[in-house]
Chains A and B, each alone.
Chain A
Amino acid sequence: MTEDASATATAYGATVAVGPPVEQEQDATEAPTPEEGG
């Protein structure tokens, strides 16, 4: 018994995941406090 050489090629759909914004890294150095005026 012979078998046909056949093939099926399929591309599949995909889904999309959405998330919140990527948080920006905060600068660990605090802004200098303005000197008090004299």
Chain B
Amino acid sequence: MAWSASAIFREWVAGPMYQASGTNYTGLDSDTVKVSLFNNSVTPDKDAAVASTGYNTGTWTTGNEITDATNWVAGGRSLAGKGFTTPSSGVVMFDATDLAGGGTVTLAAFYGCFVYDDTITGGTVADQGTSYHYFGGAQQVTGGTVTIVWHTNGLQRITV
């Protein structure tokens, strides 16, 4: 399979959003949230079993991860400027500052990113994923800078 869409993990909602006991989850605001890049060999699945939604589990293994030796290393980079707002009636948004590499990078083809909670150490899976985001096709950088520009609607929205 391959990338074709973006989604929030079902198990993220069923898990930490509703049931955080024993996970060490304290909220996306206070936890360290990381973003790692992946090739097109992954099979993103919003309905994946919880045990397959952590970093280096399921399809999100380091063998599929795309890294730069210095400025986008394995495990990814931390989100900054996380914000949780209510921009309109019935809408809750999770947004963050666009995420740049640490400097000049060389990255083989990557197609999307896996966003996970690096603070989660307990429960069924550590480093549990919250969502994955498709970049619409192959991206590649050779000796340049890279920045993930989040959608104007943020990373995630919940409409109630």
What are the 8 A-B residue pairs with the smallest beta carbon separation, nearest first?
A: A12-B151, A11-B131, A19-B145, A16-B139, A17-B147, A21-B104, A11-B6, A7-B160
Contacts of B147 in A (CB 8 A): 16-19
**In the assembled complex, B103 has its CB within 8 A of some CB on chain A:** yes
Q: Encode A6-30 as 1/0 by CB contact (under 8 A) with B.
A: 1111111111111111100000000
Query: What is B's interface to A at a CB cutoff of 8 Å?
Result: 5-8, 13, 98, 103-104, 112-113, 131-136, 139, 141, 143-151, 153-160
A15 to B99, CA, bound (A): 11
Q: Is the CB of A7 within 8 A of B158?
A: yes
- Chain A interface bracket (under 10, 10 to 19, 20 to 34, 35 or more): 10 to 19
Q: Is the CB of B145 within 8 A of A12?
A: no
7 contacts between A and B (CB under 8 A): A9-B159, A13-B5, A13-B6, A14-B6, A15-B148, A18-B139, A18-B146
A18 to B5, CA, bound (A): 22
